[in-house]
Structures are given as structure tokens and as C-alpha cells.
Amino acid sequence: MVRTDEKRTNENRNYFNWLFRFTASALVVTVMLLLGAFALFKANVFPFGSSQAQSNPNTVEQSNLDLTQTSTMNSEEDASVVKAVETVSDAVVGVVNYQQSQLLSEENSQAGTGSGVIYKKENESAYVVTNHHVIEGANSIDVILSGGEKVQAEVLGSDQLSDLAVLRIDGASINEIADFGSSKELKVGETAIAIGNPLGMEFAGSVTKGIISGLERTMPVDLNQDGQSDWETEVLQTDAAINPGNSGGALVNLSGEVIGINSMKIAKQEVEGIGFAIPTATAKPIIEDLEQYGEVTRPYMGIQTRDLSTISTQQLQNTLKLPKEVQEGVIVAATQNGSPAQEAGLQKYDVIVQVDGQDISSLVDLRKFIYEEKTVGDSMDITFYRNGEKQTTALTLAK
């Protein structure tokens, strides 16, 4: 019995020894296979990537190439911006508005600053375009050149409706003038560069870059501050930063051409990056009139008006006696003596609803039609209501 037990014990011992050796060998082989697979993976001989990576071994190289191309494109655009700024920056100047001091009646003090663009040099004089609101109310005006020199300016003309003004200065120190490009060829998304003097002359010659955000935008203009729009001016919209003091400065394309005169921005806490510039297509004929005549020559009717939309329903029916379907138009509040309107027979409380067959809903509509479609000396047919009766008359526009 003892021998049998020993035999069995030996057999069991041999069995466990064999099992141990087998397990150990399997573990060693498994570890070696894993290490080998890892080595092949690191060498990219046995890639575990996507099918795209497996079929395109140049993916990494192509990615590096794309980054290089992007970097090159950015560098080229940066170089274009720098060149554009260098081309026009010396033609962008500061404009200082001096008004009579309330403390010293004989002294003028600085009332405001803005920017301007030198667009012409002729007969020892240079000409600067800026905004009307930059020079409004000034007793005297100085222009500060890009190098810091200050020269006195003469106002040749200013136009509140378009917010443009033209100044003349001594041209002895002027070496650069700005070229005007075509704002009609612009597309949304093009690069736009604003150059001016934000916050006075402390940051003179500041440059901001953005894009053209919108074309043919219209902004209401309230000339007499009565809360009613008197005009709608056409502007370019840009997200290039325009701050106080930039008014009258240049909005420039990548060729260094002026495409707009910076004018205003929407300044609200919830609004960011909405600035406006007067396009050169609008500005150029006005600049020419201001330089030559000191004012913009526009056709003239000779009436004072009020929009029909501002009148109560009771007045529409009782005073004007209008049909219920007439809800829009322009009321004649008064006619000036000897004016085209008086000669055409228009009277107080007449309600103009059409001009040359085109519907007129407001004073803005009437002005835009006259200023954009007509010239001095043109005749136009006016359809109006008087005491509820529809009538027509012909009117010849004067200067």
C-alpha cells in the first residue's frame, strides 16, 4: 500500500510539473508574439489604422503639405495688407475741430477730432475729404499730417445729407494722395482695412482689418433731430473696428485703394463689429460738387412735409378727408413763396401719394426719387388728394 501511494504521488507530481512547464511556455510565447506585433506596428509594417490610412501611406506627408500651403496663403495675405497700408497710410490725416470756448470768449478750444483722406493735390493745394459731423460747428480746423505736422484747413463745402465735407490745405508738405477704387465691384467677404485716428490723435494711424459684411445697406438720417427719418444714406457694412475718431478715415481694399469713407458704427452693448462707410461710388460726385460749388446741387420742390403714417385716424378722416384705403403718403404742411410747389398749385393739407406713377409712402421715398431720378429743370407729375378728391399736377424742379 505504501508503494502504491508513493507511485500515485509521483505520478501526480509529474503531471503538475508538466502542466507548469506547458503554461510557462505558453506565456513566454504569448509575450514574444505581443512584443513582435508591437514592434511591427511601430515600424508601420502592420498598421492598425483606418482603411484610409492603410491605402494612403502619404497621409501624414499630405497633411504637412496642407499646413505649409495654409501658412503660405496667410503670409501672402498679410503681405498684401501691409503693402496696402503702406500705399495709403500717409494720405490719411487727422482733423481737429476747434470751437469757441465757453470759458474764454475769444479763444477756441478743441471740440472734437476725426480723420480725413487726401484725395487730390493741385495748384500748390491739397484736398481732404472727411465727414460733415467731424467739422460741424467749427470756428477753425487743423489737419494733422501723418508725420505730425499741423496745417490750417479751409472748409470748401459740407453736406449734412451725405455726411461728407471737403477741406483745402497747403500742399507744400503733401507727398502722397489716395487713389479711389470702385465700390461697385465689391463682394461680401472681401478684405477691408480701416485706417484712421481712434480716440483723437493718441492712436494716430491705427489700422484694423476685417471684411465687407454687407453691400447697399441703408441707414436712416434724422436731420432736424425730431425723431423722424429725413433720409436714408447708402453705406457699406464692415466688421473692421471703427471707433470714435475713425470718422472720415479710409476704408481700403488689398490694392491700397479707398473704397469707402468711414462714417459710423452701431454702438450698443449687445452689438459688436457693425461699422459703416460711405462707398466711393456715392461719395465721388458729392465730393466734386462740394469742391467746385461748396454745396451739393439737388432738385428742389419747396414744401414742408409730414409723413401720413404719423397722423391719427381721426385726423385722416376729419381734417384730410382721405378715403380709408389711403394709409401712406406725404402731407404738404406748407409751401414756400415762389417755389415750384406753389407754382404747381400745391396747398397745405394736400397728400402726395405718387410721383410719375411711383408710389410715395414717406418723405424719404419722395426725396430719394427726386435726388436720384431727377435733375434741376426736370418736370414730374404729382398725384395727390385734396379734401378726399384725387388730383394731378405737373411740377418743374428748381435748383
pLDDT for position 35: 60
Q: Indicate yes or no: pTM above 0.85.
A: no
Low-confidence ranges of the chain (pLDDT < 70): 1-74, 77, 102-107, 200-201, 224-230, 266-272
pLDDT for position 5: 45
pLDDT for position 184: 86
pLDDT for position 144: 92
Residue 326 burial class via C-beta count within 10 angstroms: exposed 0-12, middle 13-18, buried 19 and up: middle
Q: Which of 115, 132, 133, 142 is catalytic?
A: 133
Phi, psi of 56 (to 5 degrees): -130, 85
Nearest Cα residue to 163 out of 289, 278, 291:
278
Q: How far apart are CA 135 and CA 129, in angstroms?
A: 11
Q: How far apart are CA 148 and CA 94, in angstroms?
A: 9
pLDDT for position 226: 67
206 part of the active site:
no
247 part of the active site:
yes
Q: Which of 142, 159, 163, 365 is catalytic?
A: 163
- DSSP reduced 3-state for 142: strand
> Please, which residues bridge with residue 342 across strands?
none
163 part of the active site:
yes
pLDDT for position 135: 92
pLDDT for position 23: 63
What grid cell was written down for 27? 506565456
Measured from the Cβ of residue 202, the count of other Cβ atoms closer than 10 Å reads 10
List pLDDT tens digits, range 280-338.
Answer: 988 999 999 999 999 988 888 988 888 888 888 777 778 888 888 888 999 998 899 99
Q: How far apart are CA 132 and CA 137, in angstroms?
A: 10
Place of cell 479710409: 250
Place of cell 466711393: 280
Q: Which of 115, 213, 247, 263 is catalytic?
A: 247
From residue 200, give the alpha-carbon distance in Å to each of 20, 75, 99, 135, 152: 90, 32, 16, 14, 17
Nearest Cα residue to 239 out of 218, 222, 255, 262:
262
pLDDT for position 219: 78
Query: Residue 82 carries which side chain, given as an amino acid letter?
Result: V
